[in-house]
Chains A and B, each alone.
Chain A
Amino acid sequence: DSGVTQTPKHLITATGQRVTLRCSPRSGDLSVYWYQQSLDQGLQFLIQYYNGEERAKGNILERFSAQQFPDLHSELNLSSLELGDSALYFCASSVGAGTMYGYTFGSGTRLTVV
């Protein structure tokens, strides 16, 4: 157990729908990162929050949004889902905002859009 908790582990939904993925960071970590891993793209950085504030944005679509709450858990909202959004979504956390020692990943949420 890495200490980063992601729920749900699996999600199957239809095109056009909206889903929310949840992440609880490791205790003491202030930064939360979201990544998408699709079959042909590897791990793509989506967005980072640090202590409740958005810190960095990567390749996140406008249909996707995220937030980090006062208790530091984070949610990734995916709307108007398309078949191509099917992927593994990973959350990761770290103590600070950026570290050479990497950060800790959760085990991911597998999203299947049908």
Chain B
Amino acid sequence: DQQVKQNSPSLSVQEGRISILNCDYTNSMFDYFLWYKKYPAEGPTFLISISSIKDKNEDGRFTVFLNKSAKHLSLHIVPSQPGDSAVYFCAANGGGGADGLTFGKGTHLIIQP
């Protein structure tokens, strides 16, 4: 049973426009949510996170929104830049004491010039 779902395997956005990556989850016990970015041949890199008690967190060009009632979060990147082309993973932690993250399968973001 997949507790964290990223339903779009890929997304293509024009440079300078907004990129919106979506993530749904099923476990209401998750304490916080994270987004990771991954380039080929590298490990995932932490991008931004949000606590379950917040509905928005912003860091420069990156904003994460959390809608607890819908069990949905999204990552907004504004403006999108060529270097943003990567695979983005949504992850969640908490609920039971284990510290391991539950990851979605990722969305491949392609920024077109």
Whether B43 and A106, one on each chain, are in contact in the complex, defined by CB atoms closer than 8 angstroms, is yes
> Which of B36, B41, B97, B104 is in CB contact (< 8 Å) with A56?
B97
Within 8 Å of chain B (Cβ to Cβ): is A16? no
Whether A102 and B99, one on each chain, are in contact in the complex, defined by CB atoms closer than 8 angstroms, is no
Whether A43 and B103, one on each chain, are in contact in the complex, defined by CB atoms closer than 8 angstroms, is yes
In the complex, what's the smallest C-beta–C-beta distance from A103 to chain B, in angstroms? 7
Whether B44 and A45, one on each chain, are in contact in the complex, defined by CB atoms closer than 8 angstroms, is no
Whether B98 and A48, one on each chain, are in contact in the complex, defined by CB atoms closer than 8 angstroms, is yes
Distance of A26 Cα from B67 Cα, bound (Å): 34
> Which of A42, A45, A108 is in CB contact (< 8 Å) with B100?
A45
Whether B89 and A43, one on each chain, are in contact in the complex, defined by CB atoms closer than 8 angstroms, is yes
Distance of A46 Cα from B101 Cα, bound (Å): 10
Residues A42 and B89 in contact in the complex (CB < 8 Å), given A55-B99, A58-B100, A100-B51: yes
Name B residues whose Cβ lies closer than 8 Å to a Cβ of A.
31-32, 34, 36, 41-46, 49, 51, 89, 91, 93, 97-106
| Count of chain A residues with a beta carbon within 8 Å of a chain B beta carbon | 31
Contacts of A56 in B (CB 8 A): 97-100
Distance of A4 Cα from B45 Cα, bound (Å): 12
Which chain A residues in 34-91 approach chain B with CB under 8 Å? 35, 41-48, 50, 55-58, 90
Distance of A55 Cα from B104 Cα, bound (Å): 22
Distance of A103 Cα from B32 Cα, bound (Å): 13
Whether B34 and A102, one on each chain, are in contact in the complex, defined by CB atoms closer than 8 angstroms, is yes
Distance of A77 Cα from B35 Cα, bound (Å): 29
In the complex, what's the smallest C-beta–C-beta distance from B97 to chain A, in angstroms? 7
Contacts of B97 in A (CB 8 A): 56
Which residue from chain A places its CB closest to the CB of B41 in the assembled complex?
A107
Distance of A48 Cα from B102 Cα, bound (Å): 13
